[in-house]
Chain A
Amino acid sequence: MDVSLVERVFPFFVEAAWITIEISVLALALGLVVAFLIGAAKMSRSFLLRAFGTAYVSLFRGTPCLIQLFVLYFGGPQIGINLEPFAAGVIGLGLNIGAYMAESIRGAVLSVDRGQTEAARSIGFSRFQTMRKVVLPQAARLMIRPLGVNAVALVKGSALVSTISVVELTYTAQRYIGSTYKPFEIFGVAAVLYMLIVYVVARIVDLIDRRYAIA
């Protein structure tokens, strides 16, 4: 174990960890927006919207996230989309995690008792009002945990953007493994930072969950 090496590279890893955090937070925000839109599309009365939502979820969950990033970043310029690595990373991860989160949201909405919808509709609430005032407030509590699982997966999945040369934790680790040839020490440093981020995310999810717990 080379302690002086760890001391020397640590500041660079902390900097890289901030990039990982930034990417994850921005992708999470984009993912939530996508998830609500796709979730709504999948539960819509319009056949076209439902078909679109279903196809979106199926395609993004049925192909590797790595390939989605490559299509966007390397293939993008061919169809007129020129993105910086960071932006491509945020958009690629966000569109991908959005498909998974849409399913978490849909699962939560579907597990609200049907009687709630029937009761609201029978006392004259519109479909939209029923969803907004009756179903969603109850579903919100149920989607915290699954969305938290998605968020943790997103943090770990953000390592993929190292392949489109975003200088985040995994990219930094790969570079230092190559230059120092000390894979165990470098892995250790990166692992500690990843686990710290994952731990903080899990704690935040816990806090939100407790805040909205019943009784």
Chain B
Amino acid sequence: MQGLDFSVVPPYADILWLGVWWTVVLTISAALISFVFGIVFALVVLYAPKTVALPVRAFMWLFMGTPLLLQLFLIYYGLGQLGFKIPALIAGIIGLGLHFAVYNADILRAGIVAVDAGQTEGARSLGFSRMQTLRHFIVPQAIRNTIPAMGNNLIVLLKESSLVSIIGIAELVHAAQLAISETFRPFEFYITVAALYYILNLVLEAGLRQVEKNVEVSR
């Protein structure tokens, strides 16, 4: 047992900041993928012909029933086997993005179904096509109503982004591991990393609250 000494941390501030930066980039990129594909998956499951909807539904079912870490291994090694030479960073973003797209799709599907049928009837009777009705009336309302739930997913995504360190992406956890390999001080560095995630989390939560408030006002 050795005493704790947090003065080993400041010399590695630059590396840790770079780690924070990459964690933010990773989270934002994966969040965008999870949002766009969440909408696509939800629409496919609801409106596409069975031949398209069934595989997507099976994919969602598979990704909801298995751990994210396992999915990251599949995508990282699987894409390589299929002949796509992609860097770990891209594999991590795709893996995180698809994982959370599935959860967003589940929320959005319920949100789309919950939009009042009168909205569709109204838009259709004004001469909008089915596609236009979805695009301009139904989906925007569904997104607005599901912002709190998708925001929760985003908070989980930020924390789960730590998993991509396992496939070798140089984000926050990886930065800490680098420092630990030189200092042999895991406790100090992992506590520091935990504190940094906690702060990122507080910032994200404050941001989401603001977004929700703005949405409430514009209603």
Establish whether residues A75 and B186, one from each chain, have CB atoms under 8 Å apart when the complex forms. Answer: yes
Name the residue of chain A whose CB is nearest to the CB of B163: A66
| Residues A173 and B70 in contact, CB atoms below 8 Å apart | yes
Q: Are B70 and A159 in contact (CB under 8 A)?
A: yes
Closest residue of chain B to A80 (Cβ to Cβ) is B1
* A65-B159 contact, Cβ under 8 Å, with A170-B69, A181-B77, A183-B77: yes
* Chain A interface extent, by class: 35 or more
Q: How large is the interface on B (under 10, 10 to 19, 20 to 34, 35 or more residues)?
A: 35 or more
Total cross-chain contacts (CB, 8 A):
117
Q: B190 touches which one: A65, A71, A162, A173 (CB < 8 A)? A: A71
Find A195's partner among B65, B197, B198 (CB 8 Å cutoff): B65
Complex interface: chain A residues within 8 A of B66 (CB): 156, 190-191, 194-195
Bound together, the chains give a CA A170 to CA B71 distance in angstroms of 10
Please, which residues of chain A bring their CB within 8 A of the CB of B73? Answer: 170, 173-174, 177, 183, 187
Residues of chain A at the chain B interface (Cβ within 8 Å): 59, 62-68, 70-71, 74-80, 156-160, 162-163, 169-170, 173-174, 177, 181-184, 187, 190-191, 194-195, 198-199
Can you name 19 A-B pairs with beta carbons within 8 Å?
Answer: A62-B202, A65-B159, A66-B173, A70-B186, A71-B190, A71-B191, A74-B190, A78-B185, A79-B187, A160-B163, A163-B69, A183-B73, A184-B78, A187-B73, A190-B66, A191-B62, A191-B65, A191-B70, A194-B67
List residues of B (36-87) whose CB comes within 8 Å of A's CBs.
Answer: 62, 65-71, 73-74, 77-78, 80-81
CA distance A82 to B190 in the complex (A): 17
**Distance, CA A23 to CA B195, complexed state (A):** 27
Could you tell me the distance between the alpha carbons of A74 and B159 in the complex, rounded to whole angstroms?
19
| Complex contact A194–B1 (CB within 8 A) | no
B141 at the interface (CB under 8 A from A): no
Q: Confirm or deny: B201 has a beta carbon within 8 angstroms of a beta carbon on chain A.
A: yes
